[in-house]
Amino acid sequence: MDNRFLHIHPKDNILVALQDIPEGTQIIHNNVTIPITKKVKAKHKFALSSIKKDALVYMYGSIVGKALVPIQIGEAITTENLVHAAASYQVADQHWNFTPPDIDNFKDRTFMGYHRKDGSVGTSNYWLVIPLVFCENRNVEVLKTALLKPLGYKTSSADIISTETLVAHYKNQASKETILQSTIIKPEIPNADEQVFPNVDGIKFLTHDGGCGGIRQDSDTLCNLLAGYITNPNVAGATVLSLGCQNAQIPILEDAIKKRDAQFSKPLVILEQQQSKSEKHFIEDAVKQTFLGLIEANNTKRSKAPLSKLTLGLECGGSDGFSGISANPALGHVSDMLVALGASTVLAEFPELNGVEQELLNRCQTKENAEKFAGLMQTYAKRAEEVGSGFENNPSPGNIKDGLITDAMKSAGAAKKGGTSIITDVLDYTEPVTKKGLNLLCTPGNDVESTTGLAGSGCNIICFTTGLGTPTGNPIAPTIKIASNTTLSERMADIIDFNTGGIVEASATIESKGEELLEYIIAVASGEKVPNAVRLGQDDFIPWKRGISL
């Protein structure tokens, strides 16, 4: 086997360069000699045979584009010779045969989690402080200052730079060169303060720009999202700050919580500032009641739980030309194993499923779910077109630079995160996961809007594949960063948790890396390993207002 390139699917008329292929190289595939007339960079694609103008180009067995001009055999695929094209789709009779992977090594495995009264199990135990409206963001920050350090929690991941050193140089009239050559990165030291509540993993402070103004549906959606966070198994309880006059009223939030959990019994503190004597009294009350809630939350301890209690979010961001052949299919294998073990997995980012709709429709367990998925995709695409955009504009400059030329090409690789199992449910944004198996969740491709939605629908852990690297995470769902290539894993070791580059290098298989990744997930779910996103405090939270976001 020639390890310089990969032919993914028999139907494909392009090959993937696994390493830089110099000009003048003669590639031999299936007894056909392919001349490389111009260097093809690693992660990029080149023509397996001559492709006529307007002919369809296939990758992963799917349509990923249309030739803008004739493409010669061995010629690199670029934005100059390929344009986005995707296959049409329709709801038909559902038929999909899922062959579960071997799960013998995991069928009796457990993780150490936090058991909730509704039967769910958390991989973490957090207290939330949430504003119902952006007017309360400042008070959330005041509570953050008042609570974190006295309770022994890490106060800021931003405290890594010694600006004082630069000030000292400036006062001593140091040169520009001296300032630029100064080492001002502080050494990372463990939090020396003892946590007052050792069974509470942290207090998470969320802020946002919603809750009032805009349209009423935005506020309703926000309340549904916040209810999803409060009822997430990783959350022990919450403090909610309300101004009083905003669109996102307290009863809307309370109703949303009851819809998710009719017997909701977690400690919940809801305070309204316009009913308080003063802002200081408002903050005082919030601190006292939060402290009492933390005492109750601290009574919950980790205990054994079956892997079926995991709800795994499947996310990608900063993808590259290797994502679809290493990190994503390895995560897809994890998804298939967890489904076979009775767990739930959730595939989101609907703009990045463009072009693979028919396969996903065929995989839906019921016609009702297939129709719902098709309707959500059609509505999303239509709204994007109405504002002068479209799914074809989804790939970022970084995606394109590293080999993802069209949205369909990006989507065909992104969908690999969902493995091959049957789709048991299709969810609109903020709808909770209620069924075991693979779920589809409508979110944007925007990384943080998507991970925010995954946690809001109940994911208690998230796996995030990346080829370029990204410093994002989630406040309540531990987020594992998975590199598609070894170069990234080594260059951004402080951000990446797991490397699937061995698949590209032919030193590992999709199956072996999938099993290795599942072992890591179990360790994270048990609190034995801490992902870098958690360690660095990458608590990103951006609610989606249902406007067009690709």
**What pLDDT shows up at residue 550?**
53
**What pLDDT shows up at residue 496?**
98
- DSSP label of 371: H
**What pLDDT shows up at residue 546?**
72
Distance CA 96, CA 326 (A): 24
pTM beyond 0.75, yes or no: yes
CATH level 3 topology of 5-84: 2.30.130
Query: Which H helix or E strand runs over 170?
Result: helix 163-171
78: β partners: none
List, for residues 43-91, the tens digit of each pLDDT value: 999 999 999 999 999 999 999 999 999 999 999 999 999 999 999 999 9
The yes-or-no verdict on residue 548 having pLDDT over 80 is no
Q: Where are the alpha helices (DSSP H) in 364-475?
A: 367-386, 397-401, 407-414, 447-456
Q: Which amino acid is at 385?
A: E
**What pLDDT shows up at residue 403?**
82
Share of residues in the chain with pLDDT > 70 (%): 97
Distance CA 428, CA 230 (A): 19
Please give the average per-residue pLDDT across 148-157, as a whole number: 86
The yes-or-no verdict on residue 418 having pLDDT over 90 is yes
- DSSP label of 249: -
Provide DSSP, 57-120: EEETTEEEEEESS-B-TTPBP-TTTEE----------------PPP-TTTTT-EEEEEE-TTS-
Q: How far is CA 50 from the centre of its chain?
A: 38
Does 106 or 545 have the greater pLDDT score? 106
Among residues 190, 369, 203, 399, the alpha carbon closest in space to that of 286 is found at 203
**What pLDDT shows up at residue 196?**
96
Q: CATH number of 124-154+194-301: 2.40.50, 3.30.70, 1.10.287, 3.40.50?
A: 3.40.50
List, for residues 394-404, the tens digit of each pLDDT value: 778 888 888 88
SS3 163: helix
**What pLDDT shows up at residue 111?**
98
List, for residues 187-228, the tens digit of each pLDDT value: 876 555 689 999 999 999 999 999 998 888 999 999 999 999
List, for residues 520-529, the tens digit of each pLDDT value: 999 999 999 9
Contact 47, 72 (CB under 8 A): yes
Please give the average per-residue pLDDT across 143-172, as a whole number: 89
- Whole-number Cα distances in Å, 476 to 3, 221, 434, 498, 532: 41, 19, 19, 20, 14
**What pLDDT shows up at residue 157?**
63
The yes-or-no verdict on residue 503 having pLDDT over 60 is yes
**What pLDDT shows up at residue 186?**
87
**What pLDDT shows up at residue 346?**
98
Among residues 510, 339, 353, 327, the alpha carbon closest in space to that of 444 is found at 353
Average predicted confidence (pLDDT) for the chain: 94
Distance CA 415, CA 349 (A): 9
Distance CA 470, CA 257 (A): 32
**What pLDDT shows up at residue 128?**
98
**What pLDDT shows up at residue 368?**
95
List, for residues 85-114, the tens digit of each pLDDT value: 999 999 987 778 899 999 999 999 999 999
**What pLDDT shows up at residue 156?**
67
- Whole-number Cα distances in Å, 314 to 37, 81, 452, 459, 467: 39, 32, 12, 9, 15
- Whole-number Cα distances in Å, 59 to 16, 86, 462, 535: 9, 11, 27, 38
**What pLDDT shows up at residue 191?**
58
Please give the average per-residue pLDDT across 251-268, as a whole number: 97
List, for residues 448-470, the tens digit of each pLDDT value: 999 999 999 999 999 999 999 99
Distance CA 325, CA 482 (A): 13
**What pLDDT shows up at residue 193?**
62
Give the pLDDT band (50/70/90) at residue 158: low
The yes-or-no verdict on residue 537 having pLDDT over 90 is yes
Distance CA 371, CA 376 (A): 9
Q: What residue segments make up the domains of the chain, in order of their start?
A: 5-84, 124-154+194-301, 157-190, 310-368+395-536
The yes-or-no verdict on residue 11 having pLDDT over 80 is yes
List, for residues 401-416, the tens digit of each pLDDT value: 888 889 899 999 999 9
Share of residues in the chain with pLDDT > 90 (%): 87
